Amino acid sequence: MSTSMLASCGVTDQKCLCQPTLAMYIQKCEQCLFNFFVATNSIPADPKLGANTALSAYTGACTAEANINMTLALTIAPGWQGHKVEVLNTGVTVLVVGLGGIMGLSLLYIMSNLD
């Protein structure tokens, strides 16, 4: 539906390109892309895909060229639990800190014995 609407508008008819129906389809498309990238934990090849920046550019162009004000924004994807932070478990943390301490003390010992 949205592809045929875009094709019928052409590239120069700003009022047609900024119709509320077409804007809704564009927002749904961007939301679908955003949900896909969150679900697959992948990064898009183009940072504008599935992002609010594309919707902001679209609404800005509609406001500037066709004098049509609209607000479009993405919503949080289902299943989004926030940013993942990889944290070392206790055993690995003790090992890394211990090895770092041994290497640091060894370096101090070597440096203090240089004459």
Mean pLDDT of successive 10-residue stretches along the chain, which has 115 residues: 74 81 88 89 84 88 84 85 76 95 97 88
Are 73 and 24 members of one domain? yes
pLDDT, residue 108, reads 96
Q: What is the pLDDT of residue 46?
A: 87
Cβ neighbors of 67 (< 8 A, separation 6 or more) are: none
Q: Are residues 9 and 58 located together in one domain of the fold?
A: yes
Task: Mark whether 26 and 54 lie in a shared domain.
Answer: yes
Both 52 and 68 in one domain: the answer is yes
Residues 29 and 67 in one domain: yes
Instruction: Give the number of domains in the chain.
Output: 2
- Residue 98: give the domain boundaries: 85-115
Q: Are residues 91 and 49 in the same domain?
A: no
